[in-house]
C-alpha cells in the first residue's frame, strides 16, 4: 500500500484502560499506554547498562570510545564493535519508534528532526560521552517538557526546552555530570 506524503495513523491501542495510582480526594490515574512505554523504556535502559557493564562487547565498546588506536593495539576488533554499535542503535531506535507510535498514535517524517535534536541535547546536558549523563539529560528534558505543558500552552514548549538547555550549558558547558563521572570504565 502506497501512502504518498500523507501521514498514516494507528487505531487507538489500549484506549480507555488506565492504572489508578492514588485513590484520595483527587484520584490520579495514568493510561495503560504510558505505563507500557515507561516499563519498556526502563527495561531497555537496564539492558543497555547491563550489557555495557557486564559483557565483553560493553568493555570493548568502552575501550574503543576512549581510544580506538589503543583498543586495536589491545587486540580488540574495532570493526566488530562498530557493527554491534550499529545493531544496538538500530534496535534502540526501533524501540523508540514503537513507543512514540504507541504514545502519539503514529509518526510522520517531520518528527525525526526535533526528536533527534532533543536526543542529542539530552546527551550534551547530562555530560557528553556518558550513558548516565544521557539518561539524566533525557529525564531533565522530559520533566521540563511535561512541566511546561502542564502550566503553559504547548505551542512554545520546544522554545522553552531549548532555552532551558542554553541556561544549563552557559554556566556548565561540560554538562550536569562532572568530568570525574565521565570515565565509566573505571566504575
Q: Cell triple for residue 111? A: 518528527
**183 pLDDT more than 70:** no
Residue 30: strand, helix, or coil: strand
For the whole model, what pTM was predicted? Answer: 0.75
**14 pLDDT more than 70:** yes
Tens of pLDDT along 63-83?
A: 998 888 999 999 999 999 999
Amino acid at each position: 500500500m502506497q501512502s504518498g506524503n500523507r501521514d498514516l495513523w494507528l487505531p487507538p491501542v489500549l484506549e480507555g484502560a488506565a492504572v489508578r495510582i492514588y485513590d484520595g480526594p483527587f484520584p490520579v490515574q495514568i493510561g495503560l499506554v504510558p505505563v507500557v512505554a515507561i516499563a519498556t523504556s526502563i527495561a531497555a535502559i537496564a539492558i543497555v547498562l547491563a550489557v555495557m557493564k557486564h559483557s565483553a562487547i560493553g568493555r570493548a565498546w568502552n575501550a574503543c570510545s576512549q581510544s580506538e588506536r589503543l583498543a586495536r593495539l589491545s587486540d580488540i576488533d574495532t570493526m566488530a564493535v562498530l557493527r554491534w554499535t550499529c545493531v544496538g542503535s538500530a534496535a534502540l531506535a526501533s524501540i523508540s519508534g514503537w513507543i512514540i507510535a504507541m504514545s502519539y498514535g503514529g509518526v510522520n517524517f517531520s518528527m525525526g528532526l526535533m526528536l533527534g535534536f532533543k536526543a542529542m541535547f539530552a546527551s550534551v546536558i547530562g555530560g557528553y560521552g556518558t550513558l548516565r549523563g544521557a539518561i539524566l539529560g533525557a529525564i531533565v528534558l522530559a520533566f521540563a517538557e511535561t512541566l511546561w505543558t502542564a502550566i503553559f500552552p504547548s505551542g512554545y514548549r520546544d522554545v522553552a526546552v531549548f532555552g532551558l538547555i542554553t541556561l544549563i550549558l552557559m554556566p556548565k558547558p561540560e554538562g550536569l555530570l562532572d568530568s570525574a563521572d565521565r570515565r565509566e570504565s573505571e566504575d
